[in-house]
Amino acid sequence: MPEWNSDQEMLALVRTHLYSAVIGDICDSMGLRDQYLPPALQPLDRSLRAVLAGRALTVTEQDITEILDESQPWGLMLRALDSLKPGEIYVCSGSSGEYALFGELMTTAARSRGAVGAVCDGFVRDTHQIVDAKFPVFCRGTYGRDQRGRGSVVDFGSSLRIGDVAIERGDLLIGDIDGIIIVPKMAEVDVVTAALAKARTESEVRVAIERGMLATEAFERYGVL
């Protein structure tokens, strides 16, 4: 039986006790060896120590050269933002252009819906405002160029791929300064349960080494390092 009684409790455990590296180690041990998003995706605020953990809302962006419908200049972007649920993360990919996929007002809209962060496979803008809002955002860099007339959201809630990782809406996403990892929903109970156990063991190993135990002895006794 899992150590939690609700999705909110599970996410709280991940944010409090886990981090991307231990989740990645467990995924590797279970044969899920390609769950990390590309390393070019970095936290906008590298001083933010909190772990981003939530459910993915997948958003598909497409490059355009003109606006076909002035009533929806960003395509389905506003509808995607309005569809966010508490605990979700806006996860956007599909753009090949040099323009921003996320900014200050999108941050405000996402937070108002209860979203806990954003991951953009591209650029973002309004950097200082997002950082001041303490809203975790991961991206490839910052660039002030507007997506209006250059990019359009064409779908949300459908399957998405970033790098080698396939992402479905509702998949568990964990991100911190060491990277972003996607845990498929079907495996999340086993992964999180094993990661919690590994994190506890690592704490014991750290204490043992601090008290003088050799690394080889620690690995022989505990099986982790």
Q: Which residue has the tokens 């992402």?
A: 167
For the chain, what is the largest distance between any 2 Cα atoms, rounded to a whole number of angstroms? 68
For position 85, what pLDDT does the model report?
A: 97
Residue 151 lies in a domain: yes
The CATH number linked to 142 is 3.50.30.40
Residue 203 lies in a domain: no
Residue 1 lies in a domain: no
Residue 28 lies in a domain: yes
Range in 2-11, 70-79, 149-158, 199-208 the model is least confident about: 199-208
Taking only the tens place, the pLDDT of each residue in 72-97 is 999 999 999 999 999 999 999 999 98
Report yes or no on whether pTM surpasses 0.85: yes
Per-residue CA distances from 83 to 73, 110, 111, 154, 199 (Å): 18, 9, 12, 14, 34
Residue 202 lies in a domain: no
Residue 195 lies in a domain: no
Task: Please count the CA atoms within 13 angstroms of the CA of 225 that sit on its side-chain side.
Answer: 12
pLDDT confidence of 112, banded at 50, 70, 90?
very high
Residue 194 lies in a domain: no
Residue 141 lies in a domain: yes
The total number of structural domains that make up the chain: 1
pLDDT confidence of 38, banded at 50, 70, 90?
very high
Range of the domain at 148: 7-186
* DSSP SS3 for 36: strand
* DSSP SS3 for 202: helix
